[in-house]
Amino acid sequence: MSGWAIFGQAVLAVVGGGIVGLVFRGLDRKIAARMQARIGPPLRQPFLDLGKLLVKETVIPKTAVAWVFSAMPFLAVLASFTALLYLPLGPFRPILEGYGDAIVVLYLLAVPALAMALGGFASGSPLGVVGAQRELVMLMSYEFPLAVVLVAVAWRLSAQGIAPAFSLGTIAQNPLWPWVGPLGVIGLVVLLVTMLVVTPAELAKIPFDIPEAETEIAGGLMVEYSGTYLALFYLADVVRTLVMAGLVVAIFIPYGIAGVLGLSGAAAAAVDFLFWLFKLFVVMVVAVTTVRVGMARLKVDQVARGFWLWGTAASLAGLLLLALDKVVMG
């Protein structure tokens, strides 16, 4: 594709990703409310929240390191939208395919968390500093299990002679389930469960909302942000939710339904794209909404110990099962 074609598709994906992310946030809040026997806000509430923040005054604390404090929201939203461009969008290949792979996505997913932490440190608020410290502890905890999941899947694909194994487009086009035996299926299930547990931690949602913890540190690393800067962090968060759900779908459930329905051409692409959005929604409800409603906030030491011990052990067990399956299957 030409540079202009890539640019046009990127703009379309960015605008569409922002809209879909906000719609999903509205659905998340509505479903959570229903689970708690509440009516909940209207589905358009995230759009209203974003619009209200954009017209509010942006205040920079006198004690803040102003340029760092101001730059971090832009860095977070840029990284989140860039990560979206590396994902297969339903039946469509990643827009930036060939310009990076799953490892780049790992780095891009870490950037918003680092940006929020740096913003918290630069805010000059003791509450922001506490929240930033918690964010960094969490980041160091869940990144390793997530990396092991991606490496395990990519290694198994490369063992089948499929390349480039670390490309998310390749991973989505070649799901591992038909290639593995019973041990491999168990390994993939373990890796899937690990990925679903990592997802709310990556998004800092209950029970992993430790860096913000309104009842303890009054919003933590976000306590001094307002107006446009807070709107940018809000937008980065909804898009990162989309990216994490898209990553789970691309790795473990990339299947479409157009072939089953006997469709082809534009109709097949449209149906598979809508089915992809449905899968994203299911992943979001299972990994984020249900967990957020059913659990209370964990302590930071519980999260660190849990991911370093049990999360790492689970991801390595999944990798080991895939390796044993390769030996058995030959």
Tell me, what's the pLDDT at 232?
93
Q: Which position has the token pair 């009842």? A: 215
Is the pLDDT score of 300 beyond 70?
A: yes
How far apart are the C-alpha atoms of 40 and 131, rounded to whole Å? 28
> How far is the CA of 290 from the CAs of 32, 205, 235, 286, 294, in angstroms?
7, 11, 22, 6, 6
pLDDT score for 9: 83
Q: Band of the pLDDT at 295, cuts 50, 70, 90?
A: confident
Do 246 and 280 meet the contact criterion of CB atoms below 8 Å apart? yes
The pLDDT of residue 302: 87
Between 301 and 238, name the one with better pLDDT: 238
- Give the whole-angstrom CA distance, residue 194 versus residue 310: 9
Mean of pLDDT values over 255-278: 88
> How does the average pLDDT of the chain come out, rounded?
88
* Termini Cα distance of the chain: 39
Q: Which two tokens stand for residue 315?
A: 């991801």
Give 20-63 pLDDT, tens digit per residue: 999 999 999 999 999 988 988 999 999 999 999 989 888 888 88
User: 71-123 pLDDT, tens per residue?
Assistant: 999 999 999 999 999 999 888 888 888 787 888 999 999 999 999 999 988 98
- C-alpha 134/C-alpha 70 separation (Å) is 21
Determine which of 214-223, 272-281, 288-297, 320-329 has the lowest per-residue pLDDT on average: 214-223
Tell me the pLDDT band of 134, cut-offs 50, 70 and 90: confident
Q: What is the pTM of this model?
A: 0.90
Q: How far apart, in whole angstroms, are the C-alpha atoms of residue 136 and residue 30?
A: 30
Question: How does pLDDT run across 307-326, given as a tens digit for each residue?
Answer: 889 989 999 999 999 999 88
- Pair 17, 242: CB distance under 8 Å: yes
